[in-house]
A = this chain, B = another copy of it.
Amino acid sequence: MDYVYGPGKNHLFVPGPVNIPEPVIRAMNRNNEDYRSPAIPAMTKTLLEDVKKIFKTTTGTPFMIPTTGTGAWESALTNTLSPGDRIVSFLIGQFSLLWIDQQQRLKFNVDVVESEWGQGANLDILAEKLAADHSHTIKAICIVHNETATGVTNNLATVRKLLDHYSHPALLLVDGVSSICALDFRMDEWGVDVALTGSQKALSLPTGIGIVCASPKALEASKSAKSVRVFFDWNDYLKFYKMGTFWPYTPSIQLLYGLRAALDLIFEEGLDNVIARHSRLGTATRLAVEAWGLKNCTQKEEWYSDTVTAVLVPPYIDSAEIVKRAWKRYNLSLGLGLNKVAGKVFRIGHLGNLNELQLLGCLAGVEMILKDVGYPVKLGSGVAAACAYLQNNIPMITSRV
């Protein structure tokens, strides 16, 4: 049953959930199993080891929680902080906004640093706040690595530098939902204390696992954190880790096998090659946008995102109309503009298990839609610009050489 069948493949270019590769769909095509048999713990053990690699951590402790990114946020916060704790949080788009809303509802004292949507986190203000915080009232810095609503990537290395510069002990909590496994992310090197992602993003799985990784410092903090928590409590996991059964409650058997297959594909391609592929896809998309004569919502090159591009449309066009037409005429799924940028941007998600020709099909589609809605695009211009770059940069497929 499909509600709205269209011929051919759906071209899925929302920034999540993303395309699932066939080997992963196959791996999940299975009956349930007893998760208390020796098989599931054995597999879980390999997953916990391997999942650390995508965070680039050797010292972190991962938790694969049956939840979404929103739940992963909650797990990161409630396990490390106590109600009333002061935290610095950056508002730069819809997803950082939602996280801040959560932080406030969880009763933290949130010191919001706002930027114009399209800009990155204002780290100058962070520097000021850290400099001023001699008594270390700031317990955590919460930052979205990649703001999915605007296509802005924040510079985490600089955040770490600032914390180090001021010898500030605040925890560094990072939403890596639309970055980890696609953008350069280095948990250990950057001293990230909690990093998190969701299975339906760059891992290219269905929704259903919120992966949270805690540094030793974060684990230590969890011992005294007073936020009320049960379902999201790391302690329950740690207890079962010790017993070797791993699961305080029932995991999705299918997602575990799916994650196994997804990690295998990532390691076969090579995590750095995966990241390089995302860089190619991001660059190609931006070149197309430029060729179309349109502006990137992201205001400076330093914040360009390699996983999602938010494209500003001229004021006489409603970007929601572009998204609607994409779906109704071209079987193409694009991302809407959200909240402050609703109607003003449409988004091209270019993350996950995706290759260049898939993106080019999408870009060709966008050109036709732009024409549909009255924008005087030169057909072929974006594809030409993207191809000119890609033809010089796509590597041979290793397994086929």
Contact = CB atoms under 8 A, between A and B. Distances in A.
A356 B330 contact: yes
A208 interface: yes
Interface string A41-83: 0110000000000000000000000111111011000000001
A344 interface: no
Contacts of A401: 328
A5 B399 contact: yes
A9 B328 contact: no
Interface in A332-382: 332-333, 335-336, 353-362, 364-365, 367-368, 371-372, 378-381
A401 B2 CA distance: 15
Contacts of A106: 228, 230
Nearest to A371: B391
Contacts of A386: 364
A39 interface: yes
A71 B252 CA distance: 14
B105 A250 contact: no
Interface stretch (A138-146, A189-197, A253-261): A253-261
A68 B356 CA distance: 34
Interface string A271-283: 0001001000000
B198 A329 contact: no
A159 interface: no
A368 B28 CA distance: 33
A208 B207 CA distance: 9
Max chain B C-beta neighbours (<10 A), residue from A10, A268, A383 = A383
A330 B394 contact: yes
Interface string A162-182: 000000000000000000000
Contacts of A122: none
Contacts of A255: 206, 208
Given A353-B7, A361-B360, A333 B25 contact: no
Contacts of A252: 200, 206-208
Contacts of A206: 32, 252-255
A127 interface: no
Interface residues of A, number: 124
Interface stretch (A16-24, A113-121, A306-314): A16-24
A360 B358 contact: no
B332 A357 contact: yes
A395 B385 CA distance: 28
Contact of A67 (B8, B36, B67): B67
Given A9-B19, A70-B249, A328 B396 contact: yes
B8 A39 contact: no
A257 B25 contact: no
A25 B31 contact: yes
A387 interface: yes
Nearest to A355: B8
Contact of A357 (B11, B23, B28): B11
A159 B19 CA distance: 47
A293 interface: no
A365 B364 CA distance: 12
9 contacts: A4-B397, A8-B19, A25-B29, A36-B336, A105-B230, A328-B401, A331-B397, A358-B361, A380-B381
Interface of A: 1-12, 14, 16-23, 25-39, 42-43, 66-71, 73-74, 83, 101-102, 105-107, 198, 200, 206-208, 227-233, 248-255, 257, 260-261, 265, 268-269, 274, 277, 327-333, 335-336, 353-362, 364-365, 367-368, 371-372, 378-381, 383-388, 390-391, 394-397, 399-401
